[in-house]
Every structure is written in structure tokens, then in C-alpha cells.
Structure 1
């Protein structure tokens, strides 16, 4: 893959929950991250219980509609001719886009209901009909100079910055209890959408990793610290191997998480590869006095020096490390921790 900015390496995978009749999650990636072709990431999680029998359809509509509306939003970033364009775009991101997205979603699922109603679903008001399709949504847009994300309901947006720090900028201030969560099926759901707005005046300091995941992943950890450790480990492994080097391991890690949480588990990620450093002219040594005649072996000690700071060994920051121990994963009271790990455990980031 091309590693020069503004390109990104991307990956998406969804794992069906154990003993679930179908996978209610949906995910989608579009674009490459330029002003004309912005990178769009989105995941949606259908509620899935008996009260929401069509939530997988609701999740599908959510990802497709978000991708369309986000593209319209992001390509307007290129319109810089009028003063105040950034302020107007910010207001639209906070208010206009969430309301339009929710209204579009509700219109689409009501239309689907009218075309596919069944005799046993005798509903005649919008509220109960929308509930059949209930889903959560996380979406993000990345352009060369702007990173914006939206979230309605549970799940996680995780960001790793250029210094390797992990953050979750859309985490709710108050943790939701149990399985209760905001949903697209709420009549005025746009009022519950959380928005992350991050201008990128220096593209070199753009996030190095952005992940969107449904709550099936985070629920596989006893504490949030375990999930943060997972994100940090994933970043380290991606730095070492790139996305192509982990396409086999990531699905196994997600399957393991799904076994612990019992839920559908979906991950979408975008990794910005290390920027190819432009070739710098070699530093010329400071002028020295004319050397006195020396023995023939006097210069031999310098032959092993690199001069440009590079070596064949990996730097300390990306030295391969063992994955976090499986103790971070959810365990049942009768499980015990031993020094033995399975092959999958060893591969988990």
C-alpha cells in the first residue's frame, strides 16, 4: 500500500456472536482520505433482541446513509472561497448532519416497513415501527486537514495519536447501565449524538490509528483499562507489521472477544503509515585541521557507524512485545489464571 500521506491503510471485520441467530452489526469503509475522496468509516450495531427483530436492517440503513451524508459533508471542506466556511461546517457537524441523518434513517425504515409488513406485526404508529429497526451508530470522516466523528449509543471510537497515546474522545460522561443505550429509533435521536471535531492544521500530526468498534469488543474486558491496552497493543503490532501483516490475526482476536462478551463484535480501523522521510543531505563534518600522519588502522573504528542515525535493529519504540495477558479479558468466577496460554492468546495484541 502507498504509505505517503494522505493515504490510509484500512481494515474491517465483523464476527457473529456465539449462539446468535444472525449478526446484527454492519460496517463500511469508503474513500482514501483526500479532499475529493475523504476516508469514511462507520459501524452500526442492531439491538438484536426479540423487541428489535429488524435491527440488522436498521444497522444496514445506518451505515449506508451515514456514508452518503458524510461524503457530502466532507467534500464541502474543499469549498474555502467564502469567509467563515469552517464555522458553518462546524455548526452543521454538530446540529445539521445529525438531524438530517436521523430523519433520513427513520424515513427509510418506515418505507421498508410499508413494503414488508407482515400480518403478525400489526402496528400503525411510527414509534413502535421504528423500534423494530433500532440500532446504534458510530461514524468518522478523515480529510487531509479535518477529522470529525459522530456517535449515537454504545460502542467505541478509539484514537492513537502520533506519540502513541490512546484516547476515546466520544466516551459518554456518564457510563450507560446494562444494555440501555441511545438509539436511532428514538424519535429525536439527533439530540443525543456526540460529536468530535478536530482540525488538522499540521497533517504530519494527524492520528496514527482510528478504530470504530461495537460494544461486543469492549465488553470482553473486565475494565476499560483492558480495552485501552488492547488498542495500544494493536497500534504497536500495526506499526511493526502493517495492516497486511495482521489480516489473519485480527479476526481471531475478535472471535476471542466475541466468545467472552457473547455479542457480535465488529472492528473498523484506519492506520496512517509512518510518513516516508524525505532524503536529507548528509551532514558534512566540521572542517578539521590538516591531519598529522597516522597509523593505517586509525580510521578503521569509524567503518561501522551509520552516520545517518539508522540501524538494522528496530527502535525501542517498536520492539516487538508480547501481547497483553488474557487476564484483561472477561472471565467467569470459576476460571483461574495460569502461566499457560493458547496460540490465540499469544497472538492477541
Structure 2
């Protein structure tokens, strides 16, 4: 779809290495990236959570490849077509293209860096057979994706993690409902043989006011709270801070809040991406600050966790 009016979104991202991962010497297996297309619209936010199991020993690489691939979608968003065509592309073509491009990048990475004896040593016979049958398994990762444009917002999810929207009145919604198939540590993944069929897509045409805030997070964040209500309250609190002019404070303190969450809660890596409607009338056309791919963060932070 051709986009001419600038979207007025602020973006912020943060990623911290899980407390348990630090103790075990494991890397941050999450990745995040926010990119604005040429002419400043639309904006694409992508998060990925590498599985980190013994068989998925390169999942931190797989996550970084996934957020890079997600941003290839920008090349499809400048054609002068209507919303119905964009919706059809998002539901029918985008999932297959994401999987295809991710696999291509994994194959290139593996060609440059074949599996080493040290990487394979922890695997039992069954694990080696599984990897021989499906080498993408070593790079297994989830993917969360949001595309925000003036006329629509697109949400895509594969695997666990959370996307919440906050309306101007503070109402919380999940544009993509929780997948009942994801129990305990089970999750759908880009390494699955037909991963495109597992992707869930929600397309929202914007007839009125867009959400005031979109929060996307890997599952380590929600798992740090006692219940869903506690997690949703974080999104509501962030929106209240933004409305009160506290965006700069959020950008500064978000890594610390996530660090405290992993230390007191899940122990997992935690990555968050925020899209907030720009409401400051003094800077209506100011470009939002974009973050680079987040690296493991060693600073300390707050939130009411389990």
C-alpha cells in the first residue's frame, strides 16, 4: 500500500540477558529491531526469542537472523494497492516469505560456519539424528512482528511471547490471542518443517484513533509476573507515564526494569519493544528514536514480579 502521511510513533527497545543465563554462562538468546521505511513510514518492529535448548545451540544466531528477515517486508509496502490487497498479502504471502528468507540466511550461515565438534558433543544419538534431518533446529526461534502504518497495523506471531495494545482510555487488548497449544516450554518455531502454517496474523484497518501504546515482549517478561493482570498493569502504567510526558524516563529506565524482572521473576532473557503514539503537540513531526539490535545488558532494574 502506498503511504504518504507520516506516522507519529515513538519507538523504544531494550533487551537484557536472563539472570539464569548469566549464572550458567549462556548468551542473551533474544533479538530486537525497529526500522522505519524510507519516507518514514511504515514502522516495523520485530522481536525473536531463541529456544536455547541443547539441540538449539545456535538459537541466538537464529533470533538475530529472524529480526533481520522481518524487515525485508518493507519492500512490499510501497505499492499503490488497497487495504484488502495488503491484508491478503499479509495473511497468504508474508508468512511463507519470512520462513523462506530465514532459511536462506540460516543456510548461508551454516555454510560459512559448519557445526563444530564442541557444539555437537552434548547431543545424544537422538539429538544428532534430529539435527541431521533438520539442521534448522539448531537455530530455532520464535518471532513477533508489528507493522504500523497510517492506514493499518499488522501483527504477526510465531511461538510464545506477548503483544498488548493500550487504548487512550487505558483499555488493554491482545490483538493476537494466546495460543492454547503452547504449554510449558513447548512452542511453535521458525525451525518447524511448515512454520508458515503456524504463524498467526491480525490485520487492523485504522478507521479511527490507533492504540496509544503497543507493547511486544518475549515470554520472559510475562512469566516474571504472578498473573496476567500484573503483566497488563505494566502496559497500563507505561501508557500513563507516556501521557504524562515521561517517555524519556521510560527509555532510560526500561533496561533496569527488565533486569529486575528477570532477577526477581523468570530468570529468562527479557526483550521489550514499544510503539507509542506521539502526543506531544510541540513536536508533531519529530522523527522517533530508533534502537539498534539490542545486545545483552548488564545494568540493574524494577517491576513488581512474582
SS in 1 for 2:52: coil
The answer to whether structure 1 residue 73 and structure 2 residue 76 are counterparts is: yes
Which residue matches 1:214?
Answer: 218
Per the TM alignment, residue 133 of structure 1 is displaced from its structure 2 partner at its CA by 0.1
1:115 counterpart (112, 115, 131): 112
How well do the aligned residues superpose, as a CA RMSD in angstroms?
A: 2.4
Tell which deviates more after alignment, 187-196 or 166-175: 166-175
Which residue matches 1:239?
Answer: 243
Q: Contact 1:8–1:270 at 8 Å: present in 2 too?
A: yes
Matched residues in 2 for 1:192 and 1:153: separation? Answer: 8
SS in 2 for 1:268: strand
Distance 1:233 1:170, change over 3 A: same
The list of structure 1 runs, each at least 4 consecutive aligned residues, that deviate by more than 4 angstroms after superposition, is: 121-127
Which residue matches 1:22?
Answer: 27
Matched residues in 2 for 1:157 and 1:270: separation? Answer: 11
Q: Which has the higher contact order (CA 8 A, sep 6+)?
A: 2
In structure 2, runs of 5+ residues without a counterpart are 121-127, 283-301
Any idea what the Cα deviations from partners look like across 1:5-61, whole Å, max 9, x if unmatched? 6221111100000131210000001117x9763111110001112221100110011
Q: Contact 1:35–1:143 at 8 Å: present in 2 too?
A: no
Which residue matches 2:151?
Answer: 145
The answer to whether structure 1 residue 51 and structure 2 residue 55 are counterparts is: yes
Distance 1:125 1:13, change over 3 A: closer
Matched residues in 1 for 2:150 and 2:102: separation? Answer: 29
The answer to whether structure 1 residue 186 and structure 2 residue 192 are counterparts is: yes
In structure 1, runs of 5+ residues without a counterpart are 278-323, 331-349
Q: Contact 1:53–1:132 at 8 Å: present in 2 too?
A: yes
SS in 1 for 2:145: strand
Any idea what the Cα deviations from partners look like across 1:248-289, whole Å, max 9, x if unmatched? 321121111111101000011011122639xxxxxxxxxxxx
Q: Contact 1:5–1:272 at 8 Å: present in 2 too?
A: no
Aligned length: 269
SS in 2 for 1:195: strand
Q: Contact 1:36–1:75 at 8 Å: present in 2 too?
A: no
TM-score for both structures, normalised by structure 2: 0.81
Q: Contact 1:156–1:215 at 8 Å: present in 2 too?
A: yes
Distance 1:180 1:245, change over 3 A: same
Q: Contact 2:218–2:272 at 8 Å: present in 1 too?
A: yes
Tell which deviates more after alignment, 184-193 or 13-22: 13-22
Matched residues in 2 for 1:173 and 1:255: separation? Answer: 27
Matched residues in 2 for 1:248 and 1:124: separation? Answer: 43
Matched residues in 1 for 2:157 and 2:48: separation? Answer: 10
Structure with the greater alpha carbon radius of gyration: 1
TM-score for both structures, normalised by structure 1: 0.72
